[in-house]
Structure 1
Amino acid sequence: MQRFTCTVCISPLFFENSRCLACGTQLGFHRGERSITALDDDGRYVDRAGQSLVRCVNLTLSGCTWLVREEGDECFSCTLTRTRPDDHDTTGLAQFLDAERSKRHLIYELDTLGLPIEDRIRNPERGLAFDLLSSVEEKVVIGHQNGLITIDLAETVDSHREKMRAKLDEPYRTMLGHFRHETGHYVEGTLVFSDPEMTERARAIFGDDRDSYQDALKRHYDQGPPEGWEKNHISQYATMHPYEDFAETFAHYLHICDTVDTALQYGLAGGPGPATTADFGEVVRETWIPLSVALNQVNRSMGANDLYPFVLPPAVIAKLEFVHRLRAGTARAQSRTSTTGPSAAG
């Protein structure tokens, strides 16, 4: 996450700020300019292209500050949400606000990495969309199918999430982590399986995705991970099936990229970042491992769990490298076809 400052008083800002806490200026996030901008007294911002923009209609509902062209419009991030809790579900709506905050962070990061996002308007069958569902009155299963990601909003509640983390023997579980993992399935479908050569490379690294998922699911929960899984996988869940191995690897790639970039922005780390080298192993060895060790020690000093309780063996670093090169290939393709950033509206 980049450092933001108020253009009026130069005070530090955070990604979700709707108002500068120092000078009171109203703020909006401009996706195309990748900046938090000051709004005028009428709540408008005129961007570099001369467009007059206002904040998303969901400012009150979900805290969204992203800018749009017309009053009452939803921003790009909000339009990706296909289903939300009913208005009478006050518990679900409170959880929805927290989930949308994580989703905006995800969209911002995908933009930063240059990973393309197609919505259901451009691609009705496989475009990215989210069902953010309340489990107050019904059971919700987190998952992905053909670009549609389902999230249980109860995962925003610390006590529920900790209970599930302990039950499933997971060292790490967050709402943002869920979004990153499930989006990994979407990215594999759009960037890997759309290219036969890339598909074969992925199968050589992660395994054959054509193996029965249901059989793998049953085996995983009946027998657990195979002995010695730590040498080749980032987590126990990644051992279940090649689909999950890719999604877990993709999520960790985003974990590392976002944390490293943030640490570099704030002067908390030295060494190469994800955007400065083609060798992701270099980022892991020279920047991420020293940083994560230090952050784990800081957490221990506060009596908290390790921030990053994972080990990155060579086989996992090779998988992260695959994702990194996938991103780099996308960036090169985009540079050949366009010199503009994401749409300003949203």
Structure 2
Amino acid sequence: MVPLVPPPPRMALAATTPRAFSCACGRPVFFRNSQCLGCLRPLGYDPERRLLLALERVRPNGWREAGVPVRRARRYLRCANLGSAAACNWLLDAAEAQAGFTLCRCCRLTRTLPDLSQPNAGLWWLRIEQAKRRLVSSLIGLNLPVQPKAEDPQGGLAFDLLLAPPGGPAVITGHADGLITLDASEADDANREARRGQLGEPYRTLLGHLRHETGHHYWQRLVGPTHWLEPFRALFGDEREDYAAALQRHYSAGPPADWGQHFVSAYASSHPWEDWAETWAHYLHLVDTLDTARSFGLDGERVELSYERFSPELLADTGDVQAAGFLGLINGWMELTGVLNELSRSMGVADFYPFVLSAPAVRKLHLVHRVVHGAAQAPPALASVRPGMPLAPAVHRH
């Protein structure tokens, strides 16, 4: 039983990755927008500044931020995928343009496109890229290393978005040394919902898939070759357990009956690597959702809800002198989702957040939090992949 402690006085927190923006005309615009619907001004997202900007043309093919004196305005290119089915609204800065890039930082992560000759493939590509832009903007906002594999073969990240040919073998979603393979048919809502039902999952989304798979990538970069490996094993277990055998056991026998007392999801109980990836995805869920709420003035840490808060004693033995910041994050999240679940029920739809976090799961989320914040402060060499280090799984079914 989590002890009931009174909430401390709170101050409104700023979003790490803002989601609410305004056009130069003053109207609200949103992360996905490439044009203001009020004044029809072009818009573009600057991932480094984490801002959606109103744009003005600079001849011959450049753009600058509208409403800023010319001498101070940064110059940009719009991503070449703006006019494709992916409809990318991201910008390239002057350094990227000078290097000869035409695709933005996020689109350059995609190594292989789905077969666009197949029915609905263009729509599915759009949906995947929209989810990926959301993911990558959060990773950049958290100061995590995000480099295309083509530009950083050893430590970079790449995505293969594949569709099974008619009558051909199924595509297996998974991760292998920085390369994430995604079955593009997951972007079909009916198909994905059918799989969710078959696997008995409370939640299955494109964004969730992408967050989960990047968890494997960042385990390989930020945990396996670093001092975090032993704390990881203490909480998540020994990743040297036979991975294929563990997954076979999970799919044949199912999760343990008490999985909810130890893991964020049933699938997390299958193997320590999957536990990490599921917990990583969960951490990104809560950070981005809280950022969005704060961006629009809905601060989870200011919701008036009597709630059993996780107390400092839960993390007292971790050696983290800044544990209070994480506790504020997780308690604000629980309070916000309590209200959002009630709003969902008012609409007669499934709960916004269909999970219950146990104390062991919170301790694992705390380790993810520490790894993320440690990586933001570490020199790049510390987070790079080293030859002979433990590797995250080559493929998995999820």
Structure 2 length as normaliser, TM-score? Answer: 0.78
Choose which of 134, 138, 142 in structure 1 pairs with 2:163: 134
**2:49 pairs with 1:33:** yes
Task: Kindly indicate whether residue 360 of structure 2 is the aligned counterpart of residue 315 of structure 1.
Answer: yes
CA RMSD of aligned residues (A): 2.3
In 1, the alpha carbon distance for the partners of 2:324 and 2:83 equals 42
Q: Which residue of 2 aligns with 1:189?
A: 220
Query: 2:207 aligned with 1:176, yes or no?
Result: yes
Partner residue, 1:343: none
- After superposition, residues 202-221 of structure 1 pair within 5 angstroms as 202-221=232-251
Residue from 257, 268, 280 that aligns with 2:298: 268
- Structure 2 Cα separation of the partners of residues 4 and 282 of structure 1: 22
8 Å contact 1:2–1:262 — kept in the other structure? Answer: yes
Q: CA deviation at 1:334?
A: 5.6
Residue 124 of structure 1 deviates from its aligned partner by 1.6
* Structure 1 residue 268 displacement after superposition: 1.7
**Paired residue type of 1:246:** W
**Contact 2:20–2:296 under 8 Å retained in 1:** no
Letter of the 1:35 counterpart: L
- 1:152 is aligned to 183
Q: What is aligned with 2:34?
A: 18
Deviates further, 37-46 or 228-237: 37-46
Q: 2:64 aligns with which of 46, 54, 61?
A: 46
Any idea what SS the aligned residue of 1:271 has?
Answer: helix
1:144 match: secondary structure? strand
Task: Could you tell me which runs of 5 or more consecutive residues in structure 2 were left unpaired when the two chains were aligned.
Answer: 1-16, 66-70, 303-321, 383-398
Q: 1:10 to 1:242 in 2, by over 3 A?
A: same
Would the aligned equivalents of 1:85 and 1:96 in 2 still touch at CA under 8 Å?
A: yes
AA aligned to 1:185 is H
Contact persistence 2:57–2:63 (CA under 8 A): no
What is the match of residue 94 of structure 1? Answer: 123
* Number of the residue aligned with 1:342: none
Q: By how many angstroms is 1:126 displaced?
A: 4.4
1:46 deviation in Å? Answer: 3.2
Q: After TM superposition, give the deviation of residue 12 of structure 1 in Å.
A: 0.8
SS of 1:39's equivalent in the other structure is: strand
Deviates more, 1:30-39 or 1:76-85: 30-39
Output one character per residue of 1:178-204: Cα deviation in whole Å (capped at 9) or x when no partner: 000000000100000111x21111011
Deviations 1:145-202 (A, max 9, x none): 111101111111111111000000100000000000000000100000111x211110
CA distance in 2, matches of 1:94, 1:298: 30
Could you tell me how far apart the structure 2 residues matched to 1:136 and 1:291 are?
43
The 8 Å contact of residues 300 and 306 in structure 1, kept in 2 or not, is answered as yes
Asked if residue 228 in structure 1 is aligned to residue 258 in structure 2, the reply is yes
* Equivalent position to 1:281, from 312, 327, 343: 327
* Distance (whole Å) between structure 2 residues aligned to residue 50 and residue 76 of structure 1: 21
For residues 270 and 74 of structure 1, the distance between their equivalents in structure 2, rounded to whole angstroms, comes to: 36
1:72 shift after superposition: 7.2
CA distance in 1, matches of 2:327, 2:280: 15
Give the Å deviation of 1:51.
4.9
Q: CA deviation at 1:280?
A: 1.7
SS in 2 for 1:189: helix
Other-structure match for 1:344: none
C-alpha separation between the residues in 2 aligned to 1:111 and 1:158?
A: 28
Report the more deviating stretch, 71-80 or 233-242. Answer: 71-80
Q: Is 251-260 or 120-129 further displaced after alignment?
A: 120-129
Q: Percent identity?
A: 43
Cα distance in 1 for residues equivalent to 2:162 and 2:238 = 32
In the TM superposition, what is the alpha-carbon distance from 1:88 to its structure 2 partner?
A: 2.3
Alpha-carbon distance in structure 2 between the residues aligned to 1:158 and 1:254 = 22
How big is each residue's C-alpha offset from its partner over 1:32-55, in whole Å with a ceiling of 9 and x where there is no partner? 222111221456333687653121
**SS class of match (1:74):** coil
Q: Deviations over 1:234-278 (max 9, x none)?
A: 111000000000000000000011111111221222428xxx975
Which has the greater radius of gyration? 2
Q: Which of 293, 302, 308 does residue 347 from structure 2 map onto? A: 302
Three-state SS of the structure 1 residue aligned to 2:228 is helix
Q: Distance in 2 between matches of 1:118 and 1:67?
A: 16
Larger RCO, structure (CA 8 Å, separation 6 or more): 2
SS of the residue corresponding to residue 301 of structure 2 reads coil
Amino acid in structure 2 at the alignment position of 1:44: G
Give the 3-state SS of the residue equivalent to 2:149 in structure 1: coil
SS in 1 for 2:106: helix
TM-score normalised by structure 1 residue count: 0.90
Structure 1: tracts of 5 or more residues without a match:
338-346
The answer to whether 1:65 aligns with 2:89 is yes
2:376 corresponds to 1:331: yes
Aligned residues: 332
Q: Distance in 2 between matches of 1:316 and 1:167?
A: 25
Distance 1:106 1:3, change over 3 A: closer
Residues 281 and 317 of structure 1 are in contact (CA less than 8 Å); yes or no, is this contact kept in structure 2?
no
How far did 1:90 drift? 4.5
